Amino acid sequence: MSNKQKRTQKHASKSLSRKASIGFRLLIALVLIIFAIFPILWVVSASFNPTGSLATQKLIPRNPGLGNYRELMAGEYPFWRWFGNSVYISAISAVGSLAITTVAAYGFSRFRYRGRKTMLKAIFLIQVFPTLLALVATFLMISQIGEVIPALGLGTHAALILIYLGGSMGINIWLMKGYIDTIPRDIDESAMVEGASSWKIFTKLILPLLRPILIVIAIINYIGTYGEFILASLLLKDAQKYTLMVGLQRFAAAQMDQRWGVFAAGALIGGLPIMIIYLILQDQIIGGLTVGAVKG
């Protein structure tokens, strides 16, 4: 066999190997896509299934209709109140957490004082432990606070928001501080020469530069709070004050097999705010994550 034939055979072998590799990757990607999309398709199908039962659930239901949605809106349970509770609790928690996080991260990044590193390490260490470990302590703490300040006691939205604010600050402070550290200190020094105070430097110069990471953290906080179930189910006892996740769970807990369709319809409607937020702000989310990754 000549050298030319050997080179041709080697090139064909490499080409075949490359095509096999690409084909294998596409197959894996297809399996992962199906694995991710199938549950969503199943829930969508269930929401239009007139039987509303898990026992008769199929991917393509017979005689699909809007009966489950009508039953959900019939008023047996205050679905829209639960929906509104989730929206406003998540919004207040996201805004409040973002405000506290930003100010705290600026202080950790720009100021030098005794105990700074110790506090940062403590914040990071606290985040290592799962939230479930603090459930009993959280319940007792809120119960005792409620004896002194009833507005922050068990069964109130204010208590739930307070817990959400404390729980989301740790990792967000580290993310925000890392981003602020990448902003040149020359900006601060130049403004100080002109007589600007630290607060003015923060609000007028630093804060506008934080827009990408602010959007990312706000969205992460909102989505995390909106879908939270354990703390909300632990602290909220009045059906009128339930969040959407707690309300839907209590709605279908005793008869999931018979009311699976109604539960699926409520879950789809409840997912609309997250989907809308992502569609509107997807460029800012991607941009914030990309800029943060490059600067970090």
Residue ranges per structural domain of the chain: 3-69, 77-295
pLDDT of residue 77: 75
Section 90-97 average pLDDT: 90
| CA atoms of 192 and 88, how far apart (whole Å) | 39
pLDDT of residue 11: 62
| CA atoms of 202 and 154, how far apart (whole Å) | 37
% of the chain surpassing 70 pLDDT: 85
Higher pLDDT, 87 or 264: 87
Section 125-152 average pLDDT: 82
pLDDT of residue 149: 86
Section 15-23 average pLDDT: 75
| CA atoms of 168 and 180, how far apart (whole Å) | 18
Q: What spatial distance separates the first Cα and last Cα of the chain, rounded to whole Å? A: 56
- Which phi and psi (to 5°) does residue 154 adopt? -60, 145
pLDDT at 287 over 70: no
Section 139-168 average pLDDT: 86
| CA atoms of 55 and 123, how far apart (whole Å) | 48
> How high is the mean pLDDT of the chain?
80
Of 51-60, 133-142, 160-169, least confident by mean pLDDT is 51-60
Q: Where are the alpha helices (DSSP H) in the chain?
A: 3-47, 67-72, 79-110, 116-128, 135-148, 157-181, 186-193, 198-200, 207-209, 211-226, 230-235, 244-252, 260-270, 272-295
Section 30-49 average pLDDT: 84
Q: Residue 205 — very low, low, confident or very high, per pLDDT cuts 50/70/90?
A: confident
| CA atoms of 192 and 232, how far apart (whole Å) | 46
pLDDT of residue 1: 53
| CA atoms of 90 and 82, how far apart (whole Å) | 12
* Domain 77-295: assigned CATH number: 1.10.3720.10
pLDDT of residue 89: 92
**5 backbone φψ class: left, alpha, beta (φ>0; ψ -120 to 50):** alpha
Higher pLDDT, 51 or 219: 219
Section 131-150 average pLDDT: 84
Which residues fall within 8 angstroms of residue 70, CB to CB, at 6 or more apart? Answer: none
